[in-house]
Structure 1
Amino acid sequence: MPARPISLPAADVLDAAMRPGGLRAVFQPIIHLEDLRVVAHEGLMRPAHGRLTPLQLLDIARNAGRLGELETQAARTLVRAFDFDRGGRLLLNLSAHAILQGALRPQQIIESLQSAGRDLSRFVIEITERDIVEDVGRLADALGYLRAAGIRIALDDFGNGHSNFELWHELGPEYVKLDRYLIHEIAQSPGRLSIVRALVQVADSLGTDLIAEGVEHVQDLAIIQDLGIRYAQGYLLGRPAERATEAVPDDLRLASREKLPVWPRSGRRSSFPKVTAAHLLIEAPFITDDASNFDAEQLFRQHPDLQALPVVDGDQRPLGLINRRVFNERMAVPFARELLGRKPCIKLMHASPIMADVAQNIDAMSEILLGEDQRYLSDGFIITRDGRYAGVGTGEALVRRVTELRIEAARYANPLTLLPGNIPIAEHIARLIEAQQPFMAAYCDLNHFKPYNDQYGYFRGDRMIRLVASTLLRHAEPQWDFVGHVGGDDFVVLFQSDDWERRCRDMVGEFNAASLALFDESDRTRGVLEGEDRAGRYATFPLTTLTIGVAPASRGRFTTAEEVASQAAAAKRQAKRLNVGLHVLDADPGH
């Protein structure tokens, strides 16, 4: 029978870690992103024996009042093991808690680092904290002694834990390390991207260099480089190892900065994804299905602002709504009180009420406004929690919130296709121009779309416009090719893909074939639409097809987004005059 591992008391575990050889050192490289050079390493201590994680060991030391002692021992271990000739600067983790408690005195830290016999400017102290720092001023004073000796300061794990703007502003660190939470999969997260973009602006204004932690994907690295973050750390760039390294993976050098990445977008109608039905909930009385109309009348008197009275069964599951105006009109009819007063209230309720769960997003609830059942305007709607009555919402509040969200969203995304609108299109063109990145600006437009819209109506017209959007997206490379919706049947694709011409031809061919299903059989057979021309005369028109005009944007050719848009529109007009599916303007602006 195998022996069970012996669980040592916490004090013994800590004593074992403090002995010579009780800790081992590993180092993870930090990369300078402008030239993909290893410029520093973060030193990480590991218990040499047992199965404890570093955090578990730190917690044991903290509870024992020996955190400063353990961190000092870890720093000495890391300094002795680090190869300064090839590893660049060394970043060491020290807790604000231990410094503020006096367990780590500035002179003690300086003496520990001087034992390496290196210039103290080769060291960066990462301030970590798992609790709120209550006396930031005293911490800043203690770190001032380290700075006077040439040691630099970094703020660790910003964006998670207790690192915050107060610490950043008051400590004035040379570096701020953005937590893995903000960086991991940033290429797929519009929310993380927005936060990090804001932090880049803060860092620029405060003169701080950012270090992105947790970089594991090439797509994330491309976004970070594009944002102008100077340093990065993560498994993609190098895992913790016992020896410092000077090398960056060759495949990473090949993949880096080939093109400018397309920033992720939410694809939401709303800028407020966390607004739910719960935020519209009004606590209101309800009535059970066995109550009488006299009971309902009494509740309406007690609650003069109540538009409608919810009716529930014995399990408080909603059955219907009694509209106040309709109820009063029915009860005001001669002899109605005598005939209806003692009857069950369900006789005067609207069955099948409009309902929404508390967790339902406002975006999803906007579908209520598009439905044929417009009772929400007078009755409001019932809000449930786990299928049971929770409260009510008013149609006025829902309309107001949805309108606000759509107005805001329409500035940045087309409400029909959810593709980026004019502002994001201009922003992406400006990024490409500023980065001196060559690209192809494609203007996509439908031929003879107005006759189609006139004959089939706007509903079918919207289906055709959505077909354009889905076709463009399907053939664009999402990481590099930007697809935007200018408005109506006008779209823009900003290509960085080398095979952009093939993609354009595939777009035209696929749309022209798929759009035939949107015509009636008789029109498909004739191959034309009948209607009126712009002068009001009878005319026939070819079936609707897609045209793409392309303007090459070589490095340095354009200086503004307006110039690019003008040339792309000219290419589209030329394609229409030539009656071709794809036309490319001459790359020479003199032609």
Structure 2
Amino acid sequence: MAQTLIRRLPLRKFDLDDSEHGLCTRLENDERDRSAELDTLVAIIRERRLQAVFQPILDFRTHTYFAYEALIRGPQGTPLHAPSALFAAADRHGLRRELEAVCREIQFVAFAERQLPGKLFINASPASLDDDLFRNGSTLQLLRRLDLKPTRIVIELTENQRVSDFPRIQQTLAHFRGLGYQIAIDDLGEGFSNMRMWSEVKPEYVKIDQHFINGIADDTLKFQFVKAMHELAETCSARVIAEGIERDSDCLALRDLGVACGQGYLIERPTPSPSSRLGGPMRDLLRRGSIAVFPRASGAGQAHTVRQLARWIEPVTPDTLNEVVYRRFAEEAELGSLPVVADGTPRGLINRHAMIDRFARPYRRDLYECRPCTQFMDAAPLIFNEDATVQEAGLLISRSARHHLTDGFIITDNGAYLGVGSGHDLMALITEMQIQAARYANPLTQLPGNVPLNEHIDHLLRAGTAFRACYCDIDHFKAFNDTYGYRKGDDIIQILGTLLRENSDPRLDFVGHIGGDDFLALFQSGDWEARCARILRLFDSQIAAMVTPLDLQRGGYLAENHRGEAALHPLPTLSIGALALCAGDAESHQEVASAASETRRHAKKISGSSLFIARCHSGKSNA
């Protein structure tokens, strides 16, 4: 409208002040840019100046490419080369349906020309499925000419448009399924809407968003999310595809979790002419005999950080009026605190109840509503960087003013506002961690206890993976504990737990605390024997630092024996019984535990700190 007025009325310099003249100039420039973009987009679609690229989808079980996802690129060297810019422009000018139709044709032709094996995944917005350009039969005719059957095509629903009419989308998808197409949903985990999409659409394939894949080998929360999605997919006969795989460790964790398929830059980048066979480095990675050690829900090295508690709340600026803040609280019932942020940096926190209480007093609202919100702001809120542990946050809050627990706290990413955490959520997470620790971790060392230890043994046995079960036991521990006291005894147990953890590979080896002074380490590392030798050497040196010089000199300490007589007891030493297991040597963790315990008894017969190595045959150990 403003542009129309500009064209009809010739403007002179004295007709407008500087600000109005600048506005008109900007409007003219914006209209000129939009017109140029529209002309470019129309020419791209009409002349089909688009290039199809393909990214393979790997089947972890067969080590083959079972499908390819078709993607599109605009003209090289133009602002519309990237697909995000290309489709955003199409949305601005109402040309998405035309663009998607041309993209499909180009992708089908390129896929057929390259004679790629397996299925073809094509991206489609839900709205495009009802488009006459997709349903008028021309697509089927094109597929027939290219000798591509619809049974090889998977329609991947993208969530760029919110679906509200699920009965209609189900009817539409029934039409395509009747023709032989299969359905996939994209970016599972981005929001609750595509969780509902899963339940309503019942797709044959489910793609998990790369956010949950990147770092899954180390992140307990991501691992548990993907595990739950994998189990859910199995109940409804859907295949899970992990997107965005970029690290070796993540790839192996997904493989060992049982996820069916994966794609990402680690496997192969999108390219116009992709490989039809899996590359050598990737094939070697998948053939590794070791089994990934899954991140644990609790235990040492698995610290929960306050980032898990960060909830994004749209902040206000320091010059926001109190009336605006009051309306935010009135309209958003769940909003407990409102962050005040300037240029990305937190400045304070406004508590809901304190704000409403002040405004409820006589004349206060009239007096303060047009003043900046900093007047009622806590200018010194608790602020934690995202990597702070929840234990650190809980300790600081418990030592701070009482209002910090109800106000909540601000979470930052190197000083930049990230979100707000609530005291209620913090206490809930700490309680859950304590419950998990009591169930699955030893309270003294925080190492996994019997339940996760047994689960990992069974996991190794099912996979037929070779490993070493090393039973670690402290010799002469009771006499030391009685003489030096239980606190010193606990220190020795913690020292051994630390040595085992620090001298194992967290990606390959699993260290568990059975109880008391007994530990079990499950080694897949090739240099496991050298690691055990280092543990024995370091244990002896640390024991030497814990006893008195006199006891160290005489090699023991005087204490009563079982007959009540004074006797010299040896200093604590460490015995490790190592049991080598291969595929078929044992069927359950009970067999492994029994054989490892027998091996430990052989090790304890050797004087001093020692390593005894045995091999297991059908549950029986042999030296």
Equivalent residue number for residue 59 of structure 2: 32
Q: Alpha carbons of 1:235 and 1:511: their partners in 2 closer, same or farther (altered >3 Å)?
A: same
Equivalent residue number for residue 302 of structure 1: none
Equivalent residue number for residue 262 of structure 1: 293
For 2:616 and 2:399, the matched residues in 1 are separated by 59
1:371-410 matches, within 5 Å, as 383=405, 405-410=433-438
2:470/2:577 contact within 8 Å kept:
yes
Q: Which runs of 5+ in 2 are unaligned?
A: 1-31, 312-347, 349-379, 411-421
For 1:555 and 1:24, the matched residues in 2 are separated by 49
What secondary structure is seen at the aligned counterpart in 1 of 2:440? Answer: coil
2:159/2:194 contact within 8 Å kept:
no
| Residue 445 (structure 1) aligned with residue 473 (structure 2) | yes
Deviations 1:112-134 (A, max 9, x none): 54453321212111110124311
Equivalent residue number for residue 421 of structure 1: 449
Look up the equivalent residue of 2:254 and give its one-letter code.
Answer: I
1:482-501 matches, within 5 Å, as 482-501=510-529
Equivalent residue number for residue 60 of structure 1: 89
Equivalent residue number for residue 99 of structure 1: 129
1:114/1:120 contact within 8 Å kept:
no
Deviations 1:127-178 (A, max 9, x none): 1012431112211211111111111111111122566222112212111111
Deviations 1:356-405 (A, max 9, x none): 94757652367689xxxx999xx97965868xxxxx999xx999986664
1:439/1:495 contact within 8 Å kept:
yes
| Residue 124 (structure 1) aligned with residue 154 (structure 2) | yes
| Residue 70 (structure 1) aligned with residue 99 (structure 2) | yes
What secondary structure is seen at the aligned counterpart in 1 of 2:47? Answer: coil
Q: TM-score, normalised by structure 1?
A: 0.76
Deviation at residue 220 of structure 1 after TM alignment:
1.2
For 1:549 and 1:366, the matched residues in 2 are separated by 41
Deviation at residue 111 of structure 1 after TM alignment:
4.7
For 2:151 and 2:67, the matched residues in 1 are separated by 12
1:206-355 matches, within 5 Å, as 206-258=236-288, 259-265=290-296, 267=298
For 1:521 and 1:144, the matched residues in 2 are separated by 82
Q: Alpha carbons of 1:547 and 1:61: their partners in 2 closer, same or farther (altered >3 Å)?
A: same
For 1:276 and 1:232, the matched residues in 2 are separated by 26
Q: TM-score, normalised by structure 2?
A: 0.73
Q: Alpha carbons of 1:399 and 1:266: their partners in 2 closer, same or farther (altered >3 Å)?
A: closer
1:381/1:393 contact within 8 Å kept:
no
Deviations 1:460-486 (A, max 9, x none): 333322221221122222221111111
Which stretch has the larger CA shift, 447-456 or 170-179?
A: 447-456
Q: Alpha carbons of 1:453 and 1:366: their partners in 2 closer, same or farther (altered >3 Å)?
A: farther
What secondary structure is seen at the aligned counterpart in 2 of 1:9? Answer: helix
1:189/1:266 contact within 8 Å kept:
no
Deviation at residue 505 of structure 1 after TM alignment:
1.8
What secondary structure is seen at the aligned counterpart in 1 of 2:180? Answer: coil
For 1:438 and 1:547, the matched residues in 2 are separated by 22
Look up the equivalent residue of 2:86 and give its one-letter code.
Answer: L
Deviation at residue 248 of structure 1 after TM alignment:
1.7
| Residue 145 (structure 1) aligned with residue 184 (structure 2) | no
For 1:201 and 1:36, the matched residues in 2 are separated by 22
For 1:577 and 1:541, the matched residues in 2 are separated by 16
For 1:246 and 1:550, the matched residues in 2 are separated by 44
Q: Which runs of 5+ in 1 are unaligned?
A: 1-5, 280-315, 317-354, 387-391
Deviations 1:78-118 (A, max 9, x none): 11112453342211100113336777547465455445332
1:128/1:155 contact within 8 Å kept:
yes
For 1:275 and 1:85, the matched residues in 2 are separated by 47
Equivalent residue number for residue 340 of structure 1: none
Look up the equivalent residue of 2:165 and give its one-letter code.
Answer: D
Equivalent residue number for residue 464 of structure 1: 492
Equivalent residue number for residue 47 of structure 1: 74
Q: What percentage of aligned pairs have identical amino acids?
A: 34
Deviation at residue 184 of structure 1 after TM alignment:
1.4
Q: Alpha carbons of 1:508 and 1:264: their partners in 2 closer, same or farther (altered >3 Å)?
A: same
1:190-209 matches, within 5 Å, as 190-209=220-239
1:68/1:99 contact within 8 Å kept:
no
Look up the equivalent residue of 1:62 and give its one-letter code.
Answer: D
What secondary structure is seen at the aligned counterpart in 2 of 1:86? Answer: coil
Look up the equivalent residue of 2:588 and give its one-letter code.
Answer: T
| Residue 582 (structure 1) aligned with residue 611 (structure 2) | yes
Q: Moved runs in structure 1, 4+ residues, more than 6 A?
A: 269-272, 275-279, 379-382, 397-401
Equivalent residue number for residue 539 of structure 1: 567
Q: Alpha carbons of 1:106 and 1:405: their partners in 2 closer, same or farther (altered >3 Å)?
A: farther
| Residue 559 (structure 1) aligned with residue 590 (structure 2) | no
2:561/2:567 contact within 8 Å kept:
yes
2:557/2:570 contact within 8 Å kept:
yes
Equivalent residue number for residue 515 of structure 1: 543
